Amino acid sequence: MASKVDSSDNKLYLKMEKIEHIGIAVKSFAASIPLFEKLLNAECYKTELVSSEKVNTAFFKKSETKIELLESTEENSLIAKFIDKNGEGVHHIAFEVMNIDEEVTRLKNSGFNVLNEPKKGADNKLICFLHPKSTNGILIELCQEIK
């Protein structure tokens, strides 16, 4: 079977610029923000409600590494369902892209299951997700800074 992604084409990888952040599902910010502040020896620099996703986000940064904590605001949210099924833990890995529309087209054409058209997410980003079934079980987020 032909590989869906041709690793000899370096251009494919230049487009996923870097890991922008790692998203971690938590039950409670009251418990987890102090825990991550202690763990990372860094203060949470921002919290932001993303009401469309029924989720609260909290951000930490250590040099180039960013961590996003996700706390459900409603029982029927995707994060609440994730925690019910898997418990707390790594929820997604987000890659920074320069042109999210171009990347969505490229990934669709490469056989990946893109879950949504780019939409406004937390931290001034346009975001979309790839279904874990098409990415070895990892929920992948693409994000592009809104200029």
Q: Which residues bind Zn ion (CB under 5 A)?
A: 23, 68, 94, 141
Residue closer to Zn ion, measured from CB, 3 or 52: 52
Report the nearest approach of Zn ion to the CB of residue 68 (Å). Answer: 5
10 Å CB burial of residue 29 (0-12, 13-18, 19+) is: middle
CA distances 48 to 15, 53, 55, 96, Å, are: 27, 12, 9, 19
Token pair of 86 as six digits: 């898997």
Token pair of 108 as six digits: 């669709």
Residue closer to Zn ion, measured from CB, 53 or 112: 53
Report the nearest approach of Zn ion to the CB of residue 94 (Å). Answer: 4
Residue closer to Zn ion, measured from CB, 4 or 46: 46
What are the residue ranges of helices labelled H in 9-137? Answer: 11-15, 29-40, 78-86, 100-109
Residue nearest to Zn ion (CB): 23
Report the nearest approach of Zn ion to the CB of residue 141 (Å). Answer: 5
Residue closer to Zn ion, measured from CB, 8 or 52: 52
